[in-house]
Amino acid sequence: MELHERQPREQDGRDSFDRYRAQTRAAAIAALAILEGKEIDRVYCDLHDDFVVRKSSGDEKRYIFTQVKTRAKANKNWTANELFGLKVARGKKLPEQEPEKIRDSFVGKLLLHTLTFDSSCESAVFQTNINLDDTVLDIVEDIQGGAFTNQYSVALLNAFNECFKADLDKRHLTDAEIKNCLTKLCFEPDVQHLKLKDHGFGMIVREKIHFYSEVDLGRGEIDEILMKLLALVEKKSSGRIEEITAESIEKFAGIAIGDLLDILSISKDAYQALLAAGDDEAIKSVSIIQRVLQKAGADKSEIEFCSRCKTDWDIWLRNNRHVIPEFDLISIVSTIRQNLGSNVGIDGTVRLSELRQQIHSLITTLKHNNLLYDLTPELILGAFFSSLVKQK
């Protein structure tokens, strides 16, 4: 008798692994938003919830807690009882609710974050691969709209203090405070990358990376990046953190920009230089510079040098914008673009060796037209790459 001739006793392990992989994909997609270089700067895996997104603005830190739940049956919608622990009315009268059931529900666990982290909790998200039933949709619409006229929304409002009395430390929240907690609930149903089959995860990752970095990945490249990205999330989701400190959660649970730069093989030094110079799209800038140079065989040192040149040019331009006459500045940029633009090959490559002589000739031209000011060959090279990045 062969293996396929008998049905296995159970396949719960395989099903659980699929669900875990869905959670891993969700955290990976969330982490890619770090590449945007804006408020989102960390994703913590399996810490307080399936994953937590951190937003930083100055010294202020805000968190988005996300719980990921999947089901094998795509046609089985989540009910109010399953999500909220609410007893559903069979007739006109709503049954008396059980506070402990609400507290122990998926939503109850999410609502606990709104109390524990208070104003630092920006939102608490329930993410799933299937849909919500009509009762749940009505509750969500009522809460998000701020009406609180739905009987189930009212039941949540009335039961809230009793549900979380052990966490409130004898406090009694007002209706306004409870509503503030409830409106932080967000639901993301029918999420494509959480599908257990045909989730198109690779295509989604490729689109996200292209959106944030302008890098158009080939098939071989995306396969390698997918493996590295999932491995990173799994690593950051594994093992018990014995002592919870700011340093330990960064080390064992946190995903930051450095981790993603490693995966994308983007120069950290070049990125940091551009970021320090105030480049709002440092990832895109360094990835464009790196791509056009690497295609022509440039090494890491050349990429970092050209990125520093662009940084120095951006600073020079910012410092001289109101010092040098505007027409002169326009003429300088235009002259550099016209004289060096032809060095971009048909395949989008740039060879530094071919730029050197032209830059020195350009210095003579700028000097002859009283446009040189204190420009150096390095600043002119930086201006060329700045123009190239903008064109891309």
The string of pLDDT tens digits covering residues 302-318 is 999 999 999 999 999 99
- Cα(55)–Cα(81) distance, integer angstroms: 32
pLDDT at 218: 75
Q: Is the pLDDT of residue 156 over 80?
A: yes
Same domain, residue pair 187 and 272: no
Give the pLDDT band of residue 19 (cuts 50, 70, 90): low
Same domain, residue pair 159 and 292: no
The three-class DSSP label of residue 58 is: coil
- CA 37, 122, 238, 14 dihedral sign is negative
- Cα(388)–Cα(392) distance, integer angstroms: 6
Q: Is the pLDDT of residue 46 over 60?
A: yes
* Domain of residue 353, residue span: 268-391
Domain boundary among 168, 194, 220: 194
Whether 226 is covered by a domain: the verdict is no
Same domain, residue pair 181 and 64: yes
The mean pLDDT of 230-252, rounded to a whole number, is: 91
The mean pLDDT of 250-273, rounded to a whole number, is: 92
Q: Is the pLDDT of residue 164 over 80?
A: yes
**Beta strands across the sheet bearing 254-255:** 185-188, 121-128, 60-69, 49-57, 40-47, 254-255
Nearest Cα residue to 298 out of 283, 316, 286: 286
- Cα(312)–Cα(375) distance, integer angstroms: 11
Q: How many degrees, rounded to 5, is the angle at CA 322 between CA 321 and CA 326?
A: 70
C-alpha to C-alpha distances, 47 to 24, 25, 28, 170, 391, nearest whole angstrom: 13, 16, 15, 27, 41
pTM of the predicted structure, to 2 decimals: 0.85
Whether 231 is covered by a domain: the verdict is no
The mean pLDDT of 347-373, rounded to a whole number, is: 88
- Cα(130)–Cα(71) distance, integer angstroms: 7
Give the pLDDT band of residue 1 (cuts 50, 70, 90): very low
Give the pLDDT band of residue 139 (cuts 50, 70, 90): very high
Give the pLDDT band of residue 69 (cuts 50, 70, 90): very high
Tokens of 80: 């109010």
Q: What is the mean pLDDT of the chain?
A: 89
How many domains does one find in the chain?
Answer: 2
Residue-wise pLDDT for 85-103, tens only, equals 999 988 778 889 999 999 9
Same domain, residue pair 283 and 172: no
Are 193 and 207 spatial neighbours (Cβ–Cβ below 8 Å)? Answer: no
CB atoms within 10 A of CB 388: 22
Whether 254 is covered by a domain: the verdict is no
